């Protein structure tokens, strides 16, 4: 089933115009927290994918053991090696607080790992991001983190969770979803039990779900204000993205997805703040639009790269195709800036 046309049109509304009216940073400032001794590729893939989709600035917040490698991959990334294992936590928290205040979205998880000190820093960053009403993308070992304490994300409607098959099964069990719930309804049930977070369940077809009808959903906790009719905010919506993808499922494709969703959420924050657009789309709707858009673009870039590389496809082959994938789904004119929107 194709993504509904009205969803695609709404996604187009949150894409920054390329008409000369915006200054640097108003097309999105993305942060990726992850990267330790064993993991340097994942945060690079996420951060670079955000840039290649069209975010203005992309920051990687990592451990010093990963910083030099990540810096060597691209001079376009801004790398902050502040997550030191032996540093006083108050000092790192202050640095994180300052850094997050300059960003529109935080992507947590790519290359995070499960070492205690990295998990603790991720928890600090998540709580700081919530206090600033930032948009969040949680992937990989950030999903492991919230699985240990669901309250970290419960009720926060500015979050998008991007679990794969194994992560989704674990998250469903932690959330108490009954095994009798039909497979195509489980993502919505997880969303409901977690208070209306958006769940992007990765698979042969991506399922993106939100259910804010439960008691745990909170507009106030999410920093969503100026809502005239709170009853209208109680929704259940499941969107299937069956856009063709590549036949090779390479490790790291999920990092590309977290980066593209992060970029679209950063655009959404700029839209919410009035940098462009008419604010006709509620802030509570931005996470599901970003999840759908990121899924469509990532799957299409995988398809295009696979057509060239075939069985030898690796993640870095996908990134150069993100711009063309965006144009294929949302229009060449929007990608190339031939049609400006005020």
Annotated binding site for ATP: 202-206, 245-254
CB 36, CB 113: distance < 8 Å: yes
* Rounded Cα distance, 41 and 60, in Å: 11
Radius of gyration of the chain from its Cα atoms, rounded to whole angstroms: 18
Count other C-beta atoms under 10 Å from residue 149's C-beta. 11
Half-sphere exposure of 306 (CA within 13 A, CB side): 15
Task: Give the CA diameter of the chain.
Answer: 53
Quick count: other Cβ atoms within 10 Å of Cβ 342?
8
User: In 3-state terms, what secondary structure has residue 218?
Assistant: strand
Assigned token pair, 99: 């850094």
Residue numbers belonging to the annotated binding site: 111, 164-170, 202-206, 245-255
132 Cβ neighbours under 8 A, 6+ residues apart: 100, 101
What are the binding residues for (6S)-NADPHX? Answer: 111, 164-170, 255
DSSP tag of 15: S
The residue whose two tokens read 């924050």 is 269
Starting at the edge strand that comes first in sequence, how are the strands of the sheet with 29-33 ordered? 78-80, 57-61, 29-33, 105-108, 135-138, 159-161, 198-201, 206-211, 236-241
Compute φ and ψ for 109, nearest 5 degrees. 130, -40
Query: Euclidean distance between the first and final Cα of the chain, in Å?
Result: 32
């Amino acid at each position: 089933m194709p993504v509904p046309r009205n969803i695609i049109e709404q996604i187009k509304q949150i894409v920054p115009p390329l008409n000369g009216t915006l200054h640097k940073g108003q097309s999105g400032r993305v942060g990726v927290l992850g990267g330790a001794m064993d993991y340097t590729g994942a945060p690079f893939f996420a951060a670079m994918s955000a840039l290649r989709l069209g975010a203005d600035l992309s920051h990687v917040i990592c451990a010093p053991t990963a910083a030099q490698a990540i810096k060597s991959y691209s001079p376009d990334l801004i790398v902050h090696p502040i997550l030191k294992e032996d540093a006083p936590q108050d000092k790192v928290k202050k640095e994180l607080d300052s850094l997050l205040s300059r960003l529109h979205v935080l992507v947590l998880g790519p290359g995070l790992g499960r070492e205690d000190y990295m998990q603790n820093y991720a928890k600090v960053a998540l709580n700081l991001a919530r206090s600033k009403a930032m948009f969040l993308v949680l992937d990989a070992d950030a999903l492991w983190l919230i699985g240990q304490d669901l309250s970290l994300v419960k009720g926060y409607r500015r979050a998008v969770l991007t679990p794969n098959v194994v992560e989704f099964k674990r998250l469903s069990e932690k959330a108490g979803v009954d095994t009798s719930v039909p497979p195509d309804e489980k993502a919505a049930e997880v969303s409901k039990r977690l208070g209306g977070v958006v769940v992007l369940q990765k698979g042969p077809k991506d399922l993106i779900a939100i259910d804010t009808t439960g008691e745990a959903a909170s507009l106030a906790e999410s920093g969503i204000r100026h809502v005239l009719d709170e009853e209208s905010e109680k929704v259940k919506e499941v969107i299937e993205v069956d856009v063709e993808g590549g036949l090779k499922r390479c490790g790291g494709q999920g990092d590309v997805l977290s980066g593209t969703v992060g970029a679209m959420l950063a655009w959404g924050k700029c839209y919410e703040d009035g940098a462009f657009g008419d604010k006709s789309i509620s802030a509570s709707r931005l996470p599901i639009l970003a999840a759908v858009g990121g899924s469509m673009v990532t799957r299409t870039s995988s398809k295009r790269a696979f057509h060239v590389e075939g069985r030898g496809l690796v993640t870095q082959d996908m990134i150069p195709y993100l711009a063309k994938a965006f144009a294929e789904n949302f229009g060449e004119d929007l990608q190339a800036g031939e049609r400006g929107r005020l």
